Amino acid sequence: MVINGVTEVSDADFAAEVIEAELPVLVEFTADWCPPCRQMGPVLAAVAEEEAGRLRVVQLNVDKNPDTTNAYKVLSMPTFMVFRNGEPVRSMVGARPKRKLLEELADVL
């Protein structure tokens, strides 16, 4: 499901949607009960729109997808990971404003 340019991924399709993606992928590991995760919704939608063609933005619900969450040792929400060529190249924890998120993504795009 795609909401505001942000695709929801799961354990089942993580490899196809993220690992095998041609573009770099920003993954937000999120949870329904996490207020900072909800705050990031509009930020991620704006980043997805601004960086379309250069970056995919996806979300993975940690409660519904424990395999991927555990595989990448995600303990805090929200955690952001950038995957490029199937490998995690950047990890960031915690909500942040769009400007700061884009600064942190600049060198991996």
> pLDDT tens digits, residue range 18-32?
999 999 999 999 999
34 is catalytic: yes
pLDDT tens digits for range 35-45: 999 999 999 99
Full-model pTM:
0.96
pLDDT tens digits for range 52-85: 999 999 999 999 999 999 999 999 999 999 999 9
Domain covering 2-108, topology: Glutaredoxin (3.40.30)
38 is catalytic: no
Query: Which pairs with CB-CB distance under 8 Å and at least 24 residues apart come from 82-87?
Result: 82/24, 82/25, 82/26, 82/27, 82/108, 83/18, 83/19, 83/21, 83/24, 83/25, 83/27, 84/24, 84/25, 84/108, 86/19, 86/20
- The domain segmentation of the chain, as residue ranges, is 2-108
Residue of 18, 26, 27, 34 with catalytic role: 34
Residue of 6, 25, 27, 37 with catalytic role: 37
Residue 12: the pLDDT is 98
